Amino acid sequence: MAISEATRGELAELAARYPRPRSAVLPMLHLVQSVEGEVTTDGIHACAEILGITPAEVTAVSTFYTMYKRKPVGTHHIGVCINTMCGLLGGDAVYAALQERLGAGHDQPTADGMFWLERIECQAACTHAPVMTVDWEFMDDVTPASAIDVIDRLERGEVVQSTRGPAIRSFAATERSLAFPDDGLADEGSSVDDKMLAGLRVARERGQAAPAIPSGQEG
């Protein structure tokens, strides 16, 4: 789909936010995904033209990072972490249950195009393993049953609250937030909880502390 003038204007706005415009290629590709549902060839050419770089350079970025897709993702992106902590604590079972429920494999859409399933790597959220993401919002401590319940509720059009973020919107909406993070949603949802602070608490109880930063290297 041809990139509209309105989207071109927003892409140019992102490019203007950085001293070196090409630094904007990541948020620009998220904006393309939010509008197009995927990183399209037209989107790549628009980014390249605005940034004064080649389409090959933009393509190289878009194919390096797994968050960029070259096929339509659909309404919701479902990620299941299968790295060590999540895998050990049930992530593999969650992924298997969702694979069966959705009839889709890794990095594939469902037949109706509503969901996209992906095995994802560590989200730095191991404290609440196993973790699932819906449009990149966290669903902590999931089980096969709770993960399927999320899918059922989204299919019924119900409001689904992420564990520590805003209510689930859509892949397109999240992609726009990644392009323009100053949308006021950063403080939605719960913040740090006791489980996340357990390591700090134990360290304090044991009198442990990080080594001091040598003088002159404080940054």
Residue 94 beta carbon to ligand FES: minimum distance, rounded to whole angstroms: 11
85, 114, 148, 185: which one binds ligand FES (CB under 6 A): 85
For residue 81, count CB atoms less than 10 angstroms from its CB and return exposed for 0-12, middle for 13-18, buried for 19 or more. Answer: buried
123 lines the binding site for ligand FES (CB under 6 A): yes
83 lines the binding site for ligand FES (CB under 6 A): yes
Residue 130 beta carbon to ligand FES: minimum distance, rounded to whole angstroms: 7
Choices 122-130, 138-146, 174-182, 201-209 (CB under 6 A): range interacting with ligand FES:
122-130
Which CB sits closer to ligand FES, 77 or 176? 77
* Cα gap 219→50, rounded to integer Å: 35
Round to the nearest angstrom and report the end-to-end CA distance of the chain: 46
86 lines the binding site for ligand FES (CB under 6 A): yes
Residue with tokens 């904007």: 24
Beta strands in 32-114 (DSSP E): 76-81, 108-109
Cα of 169 vs its chain's centroid, Å? 13
Which CB sits closer to ligand FES, 93 or 126? 126
Q: Report the run of H or E that residue 134 belongs to, with start and end.
A: strand 132-134
Residue 60 beta carbon to ligand FES: minimum distance, rounded to whole angstroms: 28
125, 150, 151, 160: which one binds ligand FES (CB under 6 A): 125
Which CB sits closer to ligand FES, 123 or 146? 123
Identify the DSSP state of 126: G
53, 126, 148, 178: which one binds ligand FES (CB under 6 A): 126
Please answer whether residues 69 and 118 qualify as being in contact, where contact means their C-beta atoms are separated by less than 8 angstroms.
no
Token pair for 155: 């299919």
Which chain residues interact with ligand FES by CB under 6 A?
81, 83-86, 122-123, 125-126, 129, 131
